[in-house]
Amino acid sequence: MVTLVEMNAVEYQEYFSTSIKKYAKEKVLSGNWKQEESIQKSEEEYTKLLPNGEKTENNFLYTIKNDDKSVGVIWLAKKTEETGYIYDIFILEEYQGNGFGKEALKQIENIGRNLGLKKIGLHVFGHNTVARGLYDKIGYVTTNVLMEKEI
């Protein structure tokens, strides 16, 4: 059974360290940042968004668990009284394809409703076709598309 458990300080530190590297890699892969600046920029963005770590107001960071085993993380931020934003959802590679992401998204939507949210947004990198397929399947719609071309 999948449950969302609020992140504690130890889990947050591990998440912060891992996510900075993961986000930097995604930004380089998508062509947004240069490799040599990516870690610093990633750390700056995370620090700006979560100045008080897992205790940052209007941010809800959860460890996704399946039968008490950590299988991933999900982070919801309350942006306005009615809108939320999923800054991150990540399922560990060895647990992907088991429905944990889909179930975590359902649960985070329930948490959002309980917070008074009417809408939740998220970002997905264009090259992440698996995640895009999941979001499409459970009702997320594309609202913007950014495109570029090397010249």
CATH no., domain 2-137: 3.40.630.30
Q: Please give the pLDDT value at position 53.
A: 95
pTM of the predicted model, to two decimals?
Answer: 0.89
Q: Please give the pLDDT value at position 148.
A: 72
Q: What is the mean pLDDT of the chain?
A: 93
Domain ranges of the chain: 2-137
Is the pLDDT higher at 119 or at 26? 119
Q: Collect all residues with Cβ–Cβ distance below 8 Å to 34 and sequence separation of at least 6.
A: 28
Q: Please give the pLDDT value at position 144.
A: 82
Kindly state the DSSP code that residue 63 receives in the 8-state scheme. E
Residue 28, both tokens: 């380089």
